[in-house]
Chain A
Amino acid sequence: MRGLWKTPGASIAGSALLAILLWQAVVSLAAPPSYILPGPYDVAETLITQRGQIWHHTWYTASEVLLGLALGAGLGALSAIGLAASPLATALLRPMMVFSQAIPVFVLAPILTLWLGYGIWPKVIMALLIIYFPVTSAFFDALMRTPQNWLDLARVMGASRGRVMRHIRIPAALPGLASGLRLAAVYAPIGVIISEWVGASQGLGYLILLALGRVKVDLMFATTIALAVMTLLVYAGVDRACRRWLDRA
């Protein structure tokens, strides 16, 4: 019985059960009106009765997240390689990138909506912006940490800089890229939701605002749970893809 809690499945189930019990305890003891804090049972019921609507918006948000992830990861990886290949590019662009991080990306959400409208693109761009730096930075740092001995060996072998990059520096830095991508998987939904709050007609961020506006707090909670599950699934998918890829590479 003691050993059971060490398995991940039992640990997650136990943790979820504890959270639901605490939630129910607060609701039972403080007895807030259901438009302030609905109980777990009400929220579960809403999750089931409204599943069609929630599924539709989850799917919409998930596609924005995945598109943003793909573009941000691709652009971030390319930037990291470009920076690592050129000290001049690093000297010119790195300060700009660091400075850009001092601007909270969220302030750009309204202007992106103004420029790109209410469709998926401002959300995708927002996800891209929020994950670009962590991906670039993690991969770039790893690319700059290639063991000097390997580079020396390559030099004695008469390798060109491009081939050293392709055959040694990039493969050696893939674990760094993978940790950047794992961070990105968690950040991307944040960017998408913020952007959906600013202006959208579909998506989980939109549904949360809609539910609150109509004082359907149970729907708002049900939507939040759907969002959390979606984020975990995206993270698990990225994590798994990274592991497989690193095993094979």
Chain B
Amino acid sequence: MTAPGLALTGSAAFGDTPVFGPLTLEVPAGQWTCLLGPSGVGKTTLLRLVAGLDELTQFDGRITTTDGDPLRGRIALMAQSDLLMPWLSVLENTLLGARLRGETPDKTHARDVLARVGLSDHQDKRPGALSGGQRQRVALARTLMEDRPVVLLDEPFSALDAKTRAEMQDMACKVLEGRTVLMVTHDPGEAARLGHQIVVMEQTGLRDVTPPPGAIPRAVDAPETLRTQAELLAQLLRAA
């Protein structure tokens, strides 16, 4: 699997109200791009446009890939809420995509993936019996089962406590390595840890922020990471 890079150029409006102005977002192949910004600035709309989900917003522009093939069918999505089906077991939830496409579910592979996210002992449980962090790991396993080169993350860890969030960031980095990841986040610390690219979205457009040095996930207590985190927060405060 070679992950393509992608680029979105254009503007979006909801009726007469502009959602975001003319902008260009480039998401390099095989890397993490973190999109940060205040609420209501259109981050999620942008992500939904890339996912091909937004039908109500008028988008005037283009979404392109570096290999020229369409994005359709090459995307996996992970959102803030885990979106697990409460009536299915952990294993069945992991296999949801295959089930929805009418493919033969590959249980062996699903068990391997669950083992990678540390849920081997929970595969027959219902989501209701799991903690928030475990549920989000099932969602991550489901995303991995899709095995798509492009992964869209919409604040996937924002509802977790600080420790679980940091653990999930480490795990996601490891298991999504080599894929093109576009992550929308509210959390400057998360962007500083995970972004190969960090982009701040404001009313006026996008602004690139130099990421801290080093491979991801960066250590939570590395001085450069903390400095970038503080800078990002200061920028968000100024923008608001």
Interface residues of A (CB under 8 A from B): 149-150, 152-160, 163-164, 167-168, 171-172, 174, 249
For residue A159, which residue of chain B has the nearest CB? B100
Instruction: Determine if B73 is an interface residue (Cβ-Cβ < 8 Å).
Output: yes
28 CB < 8 A contacts A-B: A149-B81, A150-B85, A152-B51, A152-B77, A154-B100, A155-B53, A156-B76, A156-B77, A157-B96, A157-B97, A157-B146, A158-B73, A158-B101, A159-B100, A159-B101, A160-B100, A160-B102, A163-B99, A163-B102, A164-B100, A167-B99, A167-B100, A168-B85, A168-B100, A171-B85, A171-B87, A172-B85, A174-B87
A202 to B76, CA, bound (A): 63
Task: Determine if A158 and B100 form an interchain contact, defined as CB atoms under 8 angstroms apart.
Answer: yes
A146 to B75, CA, bound (A): 22
Instruction: Determine if B52 is an interface residue (Cβ-Cβ < 8 Å).
Output: yes
**Chain B residues, Cβ within 8 Å of A150:** 83, 85
Write the nearest CB–CB distance from B73 to chain A, whole angstroms: 6
State the main secondary structure of chain A at its contact with B: helix
Task: Determine if A149 and B79 form an interchain contact, defined as CB atoms under 8 angstroms apart.
Answer: yes
Interface string of B37-57 (1 = CB under 8 A from A): 000000000001001110000
Write the nearest CB–CB distance from B123 to chain A, whole angstroms: 18
Task: Determine if B83 and A149 form an interchain contact, defined as CB atoms under 8 angstroms apart.
Answer: yes
Task: Determine if B51 and A156 form an interchain contact, defined as CB atoms under 8 angstroms apart.
Answer: yes
A105 to B48, CA, bound (A): 48
A249 to B87, CA, bound (A): 6
Task: Determine if B87 and A157 form an interchain contact, defined as CB atoms under 8 angstroms apart.
Answer: no
Interface string of B86-121 (1 = CB under 8 A from A): 010000000011011110000000000000000000
**Chain B residues, Cβ within 8 Å of A160:** 100-102
- Number of CB contacts from chain A to chain B under 8 A: 51
A155 to B53, CA, bound (A): 8
A153 to B73, CA, bound (A): 12
A189 to B43, CA, bound (A): 56
A163 to B105, CA, bound (A): 14
**Chain A residues, Cβ within 8 Å of B87:** 171-172, 174, 249
Write the nearest CB–CB distance from B213 to chain A, whole angstroms: 34
Determine which of A152, A163, A171, A249 lies in contact with B100 in the assembled complex, contact meaning CB atoms within 8 Å. A163
Interface string of B59-84 (1 = CB under 8 A from A): 00000000000000101110101010
Write the nearest CB–CB distance from A178 to chain B, whole angstroms: 13
Task: Determine if B53 and A167 form an interchain contact, defined as CB atoms under 8 angstroms apart.
Answer: no
Write the nearest CB–CB distance from A196 to chain B, whole angstroms: 40
**Chain A residues, Cβ within 8 Å of B52:** 155-156
**Chain B residues, Cβ within 8 Å of A154:** 100
**Chain B residues, Cβ within 8 Å of A157:** 96-97, 100-101, 146
A178 to B73, CA, bound (A): 36
Task: Determine if B100 and A156 form an interchain contact, defined as CB atoms under 8 angstroms apart.
Answer: no
Interface string of B158-173 (1 = CB under 8 A from A): 0000000000000000
A172 to B53, CA, bound (A): 21
Which of A154, A157, A174 has most chain B Cβ within 10 Å? A157
Determine which of B79, B99, B102 lies in contact with A153 in the assembled complex, contact meaning CB atoms within 8 Å. B79
A154 to B99, CA, bound (A): 10
A163 to B97, CA, bound (A): 11
Query: When A160-B102, A163-B100, A163-B101 are in contact, do A153 and B83 touch as well, CB less than 8 Å?
Result: yes
For residue A249, which residue of chain B has the nearest CB? B87
**Chain A residues, Cβ within 8 Å of B76:** 156
A167 to B99, CA, bound (A): 8
A153 to B48, CA, bound (A): 11
A164 to B99, CA, bound (A): 10
For residue A160, which residue of chain B has the nearest CB? B102
**Chain A residues, Cβ within 8 Å of B48:** 152
* CB neighbors of A among B123-157 (8 A): 146
For residue B79, which residue of chain A has the nearest CB? A149
For residue A164, which residue of chain B has the nearest CB? B100
Write the nearest CB–CB distance from B94 to chain A, whole angstroms: 12
Which of A150, A156, A171, A172 has most chain B Cβ within 10 Å? A156
Closest 9 CB pairs of A and B: A159-B100, A157-B97, A156-B77, A163-B100, A171-B87, A152-B53, A153-B83, A157-B100, A249-B87
**Chain B residues, Cβ within 8 Å of A171:** 85, 87
